[in-house]
């Protein structure tokens, strides 16, 4: 069950000042994997535990999930992981400016809220302006990974990315339902979708040199 919050409501338009990597991590110079819409963070817990040479940031717009994830993170003493509450479309730009050039190496957007109704389309996460922001802070060779169990949402994300011309697909075909997860670990939603026998659509990209 997806529990939506309206990212365009007045409350979620308030900017949150997010700490820079030196304040967030034991080693603030490590490469960063940014997971946008991380929910309860199970994917990031597994990644941060297994790959100690990276820092991981999970952004989530639902505060109770962030509170719960941060409590567990502290209990596990994972110093290369941090969960932050914010509306990424509002608060991410200033945070990205705090990073060293090239430090953001990977961005993942996994199972974003679909907002099915046409009038709610503007609430969807991956708008062209948001992708442009990410593009400016991803150097050539950096990675972008997207997945969803809703084909229409996945197709829209792919279209937004392709139109930007800032990313090259790492796949030679358009069979989104045949692409395997490139990571060892799954999100809560991915595990649920697999258990229910739902089709999962995926695509991985690499930042090209356009726009530099």
Residues that are catalytic? 113
CA distance 173 to 203: 10
Q: Within 13 Å of residue 180, how many CA atoms lie on the same side as its CB?
A: 4
Which of these, 190, 108, 206, lies nearest to 150 by C-alpha position? 190
Place of tokens 């535990």: 49
Residue by residue, DSSP assigns 85-153 as ES-HHHHHHHHHHTSPTT-EEEEEEES-----SGGGGGG-S--HHHHHHHHHHS-TT-EEEEEES-HHH
Contacts of 18 (CB under 8 A, 6+ apart): 84, 86, 91, 92, 94, 95
């Amino acid at each position: 069950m997806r529990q939506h919050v309206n990212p365009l409501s007045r409350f979620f338009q308030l900017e949150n000042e997010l700490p820079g990597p030196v304040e967030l991590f034991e080693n603030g110079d490590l490469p960063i994997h940014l997971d946008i819409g991380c929910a309860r963070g199970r994917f990031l817990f597994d990644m941060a535990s297994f790959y100690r040479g990276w820092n991981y940031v999970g952004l989530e717009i639902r505060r109770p999930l962030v509170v719960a994830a941060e409590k567990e993170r502290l209990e596990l003493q994972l110093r290369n992981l941090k969960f932050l509450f914010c509306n990424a479309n509002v608060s991410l730009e200033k945070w990205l400016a705090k990073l060293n050039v090239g430090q953001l190496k990977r961005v993942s957007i996994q199972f974003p809220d679909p907002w099915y109704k046409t009038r709610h389309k503007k609430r969807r996460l991956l708008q062209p302006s948001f992708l442009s922001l990410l593009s400016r802070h991803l150097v050539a060779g950096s990675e972008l990974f997207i997945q969803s169990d809703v084909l229409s949402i996945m197709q829209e994300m792919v279209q937004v990315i392709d139109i930007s011309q800032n990313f090259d697909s790492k796949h030679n075909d358009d069979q989104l339902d045949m692409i395997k997860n490139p990571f060892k670990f799954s999100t809560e939603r991915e595990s649920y979708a697999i258990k229910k026998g739902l089709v999962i659509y995926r695509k991985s990209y690499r930042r090209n040199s356009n726009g530099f």
